[in-house]
Amino acid sequence: MADWVEEKLHKHFRASYEVSRVLYKETTGHQSLVVFENPTFGRMLSLDSVTQTTEADEFIYHEMLTHVPILAHGRVRRVLIVGGGDGGMLEEVLKHKSVEHVTMVEIDAGVVEFSKKHLPTICKNAFEDPRLNLVIADGAEFAARRTGDFDVAIIDSTDPMGPGEVLFTAEFYANTKACLTPGGVIVTQNGVPFMQAAELKGTVTRFRKLFADAGCYLCTVPSYVGGPMALGWGTDDASLRKVSEEELDRRFRAAGFDTRYYTPAVHKGAFALPRYILDILG
Query: Average pLDDT, stretch 1-23?
Result: 86
199 has a pLDDT exceeding 70: yes
Of 34-38, 60-64, 262-266, give the lowest mean pLDDT range: 34-38
Structure-derived torsion over alpha carbons of residues 86, 89, 94, 95, reported in degrees to the nearest 10: 120
1: pLDDT strictly greater than 60: no
- What is the Cα–Cα distance from 281 to 202, expressed in whole angstroms? 9
Distance separating alpha carbons of residues 146 and 179, to the nearest angstrom: 5
Domains located in the chain, CATH noted? 3-54 (2.30.140.10), 58-281 (3.40.50.150)
Secondary structure class of 13 (helix, strand, coil):
strand
Across the range 57-67, mean pLDDT stands at: 98
CA distance 175 to 188: 14
Phi and psi of 42, rounded to 5°?
Answer: 70, -145
Taking 70 as the threshold, does the pLDDT of residue 29 lie above it?
no
Handedness of CA 141, 154, 255, 214 (dihedral sign): negative
Better pLDDT: 191 or 158: 191
pLDDT in tens, 142-167: 999 977 799 999 999 866 555 567 77
Higher local confidence (pLDDT), 91 or 9: 91
The whole-number average pLDDT for the span 175-181 is: 96
pLDDT digits (tens, 9 = 90+) for 209-247: 999 999 999 999 999 989 999 999 999 999 999 999 999
- Amino acid letter at 40? T
In tens, the pLDDT along 247-258 reads 999 999 999 999
Provide the annotated active-site residues.
Answer: 156
